[in-house]
């Protein structure tokens, strides 16, 4: 598996990939995905996009809706998994129940397997 972003809810490769321009974020993620897909590896790895605050469904939904918006360079076929981080010490709202809801909603909405890839 290759992650084409680690906790990138706040953007990546600033200033080009700042969240003020989701079109650029989509292009960066699409290019990263196709760099992996077009590699000469005998078994192409699965591709994951990883966001922080996996318990926060509204933040997850906003990010993916923006990055996958109509006309976006990023397509749901560009990646295989959605990865999230879960650090419960960040606040009272960071519960297992909130995480379960968010994971379920991510899977149902975007049709991807969802993984908790960072926690404590």
Express each pLDDT in 73-105 by its tens digit. Answer: 999 999 999 999 999 988 899 999 999 999 999
Asked if residues 28 and 17 have their Cβ atoms less than 8 Å apart, the reply is: yes
Taking each helix axis from N to C end, the angle separating 96-110 and 57-67, rounded to the nearest 10 degrees, works out to: 20
Please state whether beta strands 81-86 and 47-51 pair in parallel, antiparallel, or not at all (unpaired).
Answer: parallel
Res 91: pLDDT: 85
Residues annotated catalytic, as ranges = 7, 118
- Distance in angstroms (rounded) separating the CA atoms of residues 51 and 65: 13
Dist. CA 75–CA 94, nearest whole Å: 29
Residue 4 has pLDDT above 90, yes or no: yes
Stretch 59-64: mean pLDDT, rounded?
A: 97
Residue 86: CB atoms within 10 A of its CB come to 21
Share of the chain above pLDDT 70, in %: 100
Cis (ω within 30 of 0) for the bond into 68?
A: no
Residue 120's pLDDT is 87
pTM: 0.93
């Amino acid at each position: 598996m290759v992650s084409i972003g680690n906790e990138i809810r706040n953007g990546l490769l600033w200033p080009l990939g700042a969240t003020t321009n989701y079109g650029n974020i989509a292009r960066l993620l699409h290019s990263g995905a196709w760099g992996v897909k077009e590699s000469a590896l005998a078994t192409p790895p699965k591709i994951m996009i990883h966001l922080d605050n996996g318990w926060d469904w509204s933040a997850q939904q906003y990010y993916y809706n923006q990055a996958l918006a109509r006309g976006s360079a990023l397509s749901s076929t560009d990646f295989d998994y959605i990865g999230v981080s879960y650090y419960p010490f960040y606040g009272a709202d960071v519960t297992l129940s909130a995480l379960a809801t968010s994971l379920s909603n991510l899977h149902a909405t975007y049709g991807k397997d969802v993984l908790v890839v960072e926690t404590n």
